[in-house]
Structure 1
């Protein structure tokens, strides 16, 4: 029975570490340049972010070599801030933008950086394990129209339903 449960857990949790078809993580990734604060510009809807504005993610190094993750957003309906702390680790080598992130104990989900401003590290296109998870992150609270259009087109070409994108309000 224990073997069956272990196998079930491995298969279930492993499924959360995949990536969507047509999505590949960037190579040449430099974690030290990725650390710091990012603003969420656009996303697909999820219950854990529903109704949130001014969403940010902050990444820092952990003592164990992983990445500390702090997500923060303003829940407009309740007029309050919500925070979630998590941890992330590389799935492959550290030069590949493919991490596993956990906010809930031993359960991990994919964090796949599939496009990145490798010169300045000013924006990132990120997916989760399937086509229902998608984010545009930026070092600034707003981005230009050209970058937003490129994000939408790149996401659409990779199979994401861009008609359901939420454009996150970043200013009060």
Structure 2
């Protein structure tokens, strides 16, 4: 089962890497991000569909400081919010020290890498918008398993303002 997941994960990340070489959107990161604000558990509220997270529910990312950057453990439950746990680990490094809002993540021991951009961060409300640097994939993440409906609506509006189509978003169930 794990080898089937790993094969699917590698295929999904290969697609992400290939898409990155396509014409990229002009994504502007937040002006400045305090790295300490990225640490801890982030819950996935919404995402654009992607092969790696097909049938994923209750998605989350755990960010911890590590030598030379951060360790990121991404997880979800396959098929249902209480389904089997799937995890993949990444090492993240800051790609733009002037803003701290661009990251390079390396997965599967360096076999796959992907660039990410923090497009919005509302620390006081506990949410952020993260996208691949090419703009193909986007995630709305929260420091709580769910967002209040008014806050969620504000975040979705911001996604629209950034040039993304909210109709493409998936809202997987939280844990």
TM range (shorter): 0.7 to 0.9
* Residue 70 of structure 1: aligned partner: 73
Deviation string, structure 1 residues 118-157 (Cα, Å, up to 9, x no partner): 4x47111111122320001001011022222222222223
Unaligned runs of 5+ in 1: 1-12
* Residue 116 of structure 2: aligned partner: 111
What is the TM-score of this pair, normalised by structure 1? 0.80
How far apart in 1 are the matches of 2:118 and 2:111? 22
* Residue 156 of structure 1: aligned partner: 160
Q: Which has the larger radius of gyration?
A: 1
Give the 3-state SS of the residue equivalent to 2:133 in structure 1. Answer: coil
Give the RMSD, CA atoms, in angstroms: 2.5
How far apart in 1 are the matches of 2:122 and 2:86? 28
What is the TM-score of this pair, normalised by structure 2? 0.79
Shift of 1:162: 1.6
Give the 3-state SS of the residue equivalent to 2:156 in structure 1. Answer: helix
Deviation string, structure 1 residues 34-65 (Cα, Å, up to 9, x no partner): 201010000001111111111110001112x2
Q: Flag the 1:37–1:146 CA change in 2: closer, same or farther, 3 A.
A: same
More helix by share: 2
How far apart in 1 are the matches of 2:130 and 2:23? 11
Give the 3-state SS of the residue equivalent to 2:28 in structure 1. Answer: coil
CA contact under 8 A between 1:102 and 1:109: conserved in structure 2?
yes
CA contact under 8 A between 1:16 and 1:108: conserved in structure 2?
no
Shift of 1:20: 5.0
Number of positions where the alignment pairs a residue of Structure 1 with one of Structure 2: 157
Deviation string, structure 1 residues 89-128 (Cα, Å, up to 9, x no partner): 111116431111121315321211111024x471111111
Unaligned runs of 5+ in 2: 1-16
Aligned positions of 1:75-90 closer than 5 A = 75-76=78-79, 79-90=83-94
Give the 3-state SS of the residue equivalent to 1:86 in structure 2. Answer: strand
* Residue 106 of structure 2: aligned partner: 102
Give the 3-state SS of the residue equivalent to 2:107 in structure 1. Answer: strand
